[in-house]
Amino acid sequence: MSEKRVFNPPKKIAENANIVDWEAALKRGEEDLEGFWEDAAKELEWFGKWDKVLDDSGKPFYKWFTGAKCNIVHNALDRHIKTPLKGKVAIIAEAEDGKVRKFTYAQLHKEVCKFANVLKSLGIKKGDRVAIYMPNIPEIAIAMLATVKIGAIHSVVFAGYGEGALKIRIEDAEAKIIVCADGVGRGGKKINLKDTVDKAVAQCPAIKKTIVVKNAGLDVDMANCAWYHELMETASDKCETERMDSEDILYILYTSGTTGKPKGVIHVHGGYMVGVNRTLRWVFDIKPQDIFWCAADPGWVTGHSYIVYGPLLAGTTTLMYEGHPTYPDPGRMWDIIERHSVTILYTAPTMIRMLMGLGDEWPKKHDLNTLRLLGSVGEPINPEAWMWYYKNVGGERCPIMDTWWQTETGMFMLTPTPQTPLKPGSATKPFPGVQAKIVDNDGKEVETGKGGHLAITTPWPAMLRTVYKNPERYKKTYWQEVPGGMYISGDIARKDEDGYFWVQGRSDDVLKIAGHRIGTAEIESAFVSHKAVAEAAVIGIPDEVKGETGKAFVILKKGFAGNAELVEDLKKHVRKELGPLAIIDSIKFVGSLPKTRSGKIMRRVLKARELGLDEGDTSALVD
């Protein structure tokens, strides 16, 4: 499907947006980078002001708001409880069994202070690392905030990872304590998390204690462990917030690379809180009455920035759901939106396509009229999924904020705002104060419409500062792949005649057929637009004549049979959608695709298997 229409935002939403003038903001960010971000910093409270907005003397090790004193928890919690916001609901948490818990800002503040005192009583101090391995429950947010309140550093590991992946991350971060849950409710089953933690911790002598949240009610081994609720019973609910330097480490979050062990991405207090606060307020237009549901997991950067820190910085209500999105039936997400009067939904294209495949009748059964804005994150969204989301979920009245960003960027980088005309499948333009270009392998800007490396050409406050304990890897991975001193994202994109960016996938997810680059995301989108296809993944196979040809792995919808006739029909369909360049030599029908736990297809694993190569780091794979 090729959707050429431009969707203008509803007049009422555009006129009442927090961003007063999108075009003027883009211009200001370009002409006065430091002034733009200094204004954003002034929206927050600081214990001591900065000497310099941006220090680029040690590039690419950029520093922001140098000399300033702050703590993100002061801005996310402490300052709110001195205002009427203290009585406002900060977190709504729903478990899969339907149990709902709510915490006001004042209640959350008390819980965070108590757990901060628990950590102190166990010897955790400023600069120490605390590992966290929990599902999407309030205690994960409490543990994160409490760790940071006392100046320690959290390293959250997604609670779907196995013992090997957990061990690598605990060891690299040199964590002293791990906070986990006994288990998680998922798809009507109770999954034991504590067993995984025990196996990983047995290989990590640096861990002094395991703190366990009783979440699933499982019978678990408590040797050298303590129950969270028991420690909290005797803890004081008063705790001073540590004054941190703007450049002090806030957290370490691991991201898988195509080679080597996972990279420990470092984010810091000052710049990160400025970037996350400004982007959330402007992109999702946070208003006092909003209920914001980022349907991701706190184990990923999306959850760090836009389940926990961003919403609390903005003083809004954040919704957390622990459970499967289609349990006990495919209407669960729509039911949650209706019951909690959710106003903003932020989810991934993988989720949208899955829900789309279950039929239009499910969203139609629910009143979704409280929704005001929709969002997409994690990968490029194909126009078919965009249109389905816009019509069936947003009722053709909710603009879709299609955001492109990364673990490393910390905040939205390419994104519309509620004033931006939208093109389905495009993340539109860089956020004000962010400059981006499409460049070739020599660092030269490519012509309009041509694919190339998506590069960020100026620093931004929420950027990663380094790779933990590996500054050389930081320089090599992000700054030295292409000449020109730019941040190279590892993604391929093109820019159209209106200056809109179209992200096409990872640079290792790009085919080069007869000298022309074509993103796998575009080919997969063409496959998915066929009535028989539920999901598709495409990889490049070396070809002596053309350089590369494509091989597709296709999951069919129910009721369709994978036969020779369908193979030919699909090849013709893709060629019709994308032109003769999209040469698919081979199609394989499969029952599943290798995916990360955040739902991204691991094409490099398919390619490695196909070519008999090393699969690299597969710790992020679901199975």
Question: In this structure, what token pair is assigned to residue 355?
Answer: 């829900």
Say whether both 28 and 100 belong to one domain. Answer: yes
CATH of the domain at 606: 3.30.300.30
Examine residue 200 and state whether it is found in any structural domain, yes or no: no
The answer to the question of residue 17 being in a domain is yes
What are the tens digits of pLDDT across the range 549-565?
Answer: 899 999 999 999 999 99
Residue 164 pLDDT: 82
Cβ neighbours around 182 below 10 Å, total: 23
Residue 163 has a pLDDT of: 85
Statement to judge: residues 143 and 288 lie in one domain: yes
Helix (H) or strand (E) holding 94: strand 89-95
Kindly state whether residues 362 and 480 are assigned to the same domain.
yes
For 249-254, what is the mean pLDDT?
Answer: 98
Q: 255-264, 477-486, 603-612 — which one is most confidently predicted on average?
A: 477-486
| pLDDT at residue 244 greater than cutoff 60 | yes
Please report whether residue 222 resides in a domain: no
* 526 in the same domain as 480: no
The mean pLDDT value for 167-179 works out to: 97
pLDDT band at 64 (very low <50, low <70, confident <90, very high): very high
Q: What is the CATH number of the domain that holds 268?
A: 3.40.50.12780
Total domain count for the chain? 2
Does 130 lie in the same domain as 25?
A: yes
In a domain, 623, yes or no: no
Segment 453-512, tens digit of pLDDT: 999 999 999 999 999 999 999 999 999 989 999 999 999 999 999 999 999 887 777 777
Strands 225-227 and 209-213: parallel
* Confidence at 296, pLDDT banded by 50, 70, 90: very high
- pLDDT tier at 518, thresholds 50, 70, 90: confident
Shared-domain flag, residues 253 and 381: yes
174 part of a folded domain = no
Assess whether 423 and 548 both reside in one domain: no
What is the model's pTM? 0.88
- 441 within domain boundaries: no
Structure tokens, 286: 């946070």
Report whether 380 contacts 504 (CB < 8 A).
yes
- The residue that leads in pLDDT, 607 or 112, is 112
Q: Does 387 score more than 90 pLDDT?
A: yes
DSSP β-ladder status, 177-181 and 209-213: parallel
Amino acid letter, residue 308: V
Q: Indicate whether 251 and 352 sit together in one domain.
A: yes
pLDDT at residue 169, rounded to an integer: 92
Question: Do 290 and 427 fall into the same domain?
Answer: yes
Mean pLDDT of 18-34: 97
Q: Are residues 354 and 392 in the same domain?
A: yes
Answer whether residue 258 shows pLDDT above 60: no
- 530 and 428 fall within a common domain: no
Is residue 243 pLDDT above 90, yes or no?
yes
Q: Please tell me the distance from the alpha carbon of residue 227 to that of residue 212, in angstroms, as a whole number.
A: 5
Q: Distance between CA atoms of 170 and 157, rounded to whole angstroms? A: 9
What tens digit of pLDDT does each residue of 113-122 get? Answer: 999 999 999 9
* pLDDT above 80: residue 544: no
Which phi and psi (to 5°) does residue 334 adopt?
A: -70, -35
Question: For the chain, how big is the Rg over CA atoms in Å?
Answer: 24
> 544 with 421, same domain?
no
Beta strands (DSSP E) in 398-486 are 400-402, 436-439, 452-456
Report the C-alpha gap between 106 and 84 in whole angstroms.
10
C-alpha distance from residue 276 to each of 182, 290, 325 (Å): 31, 17, 26
> What is the pLDDT, as a whole number, of residue 597?
78
In the chain, pLDDT over 70 holds for what percent of residues? Answer: 97
Top-confidence range, 157-166, 392-401, 513-522: 392-401
pLDDT at site 547: 74
**3-state SS class at 242:** coil
> Roughly what angle, to the nearest 10 degrees, separates helices 564-578 and 520-528?
120
Is the pLDDT at 162 greater than 90, yes or no?
no
More confident residue, 619 or 556: 556
Coil, strand, or helix at residue 528?
helix
586 in any annotated domain: yes
Mean pLDDT of the chain: 94
* Poorest-pLDDT segment among 46-55, 138-147, 319-328, 507-516: 507-516
Kindly state whether residue 501 falls inside one of the protein's structural domains: no
Share of residues in the chain with pLDDT > 90 (%): 83
Q: At what angle do helices 163-173 and 194-201 cross, to 10 degrees?
A: 50
User: Which residue from 469, 439, 436, 435 is spatially nearest to 453, judged by alpha carbons?
Assistant: 439
Domain of residue 545 covers 514-611
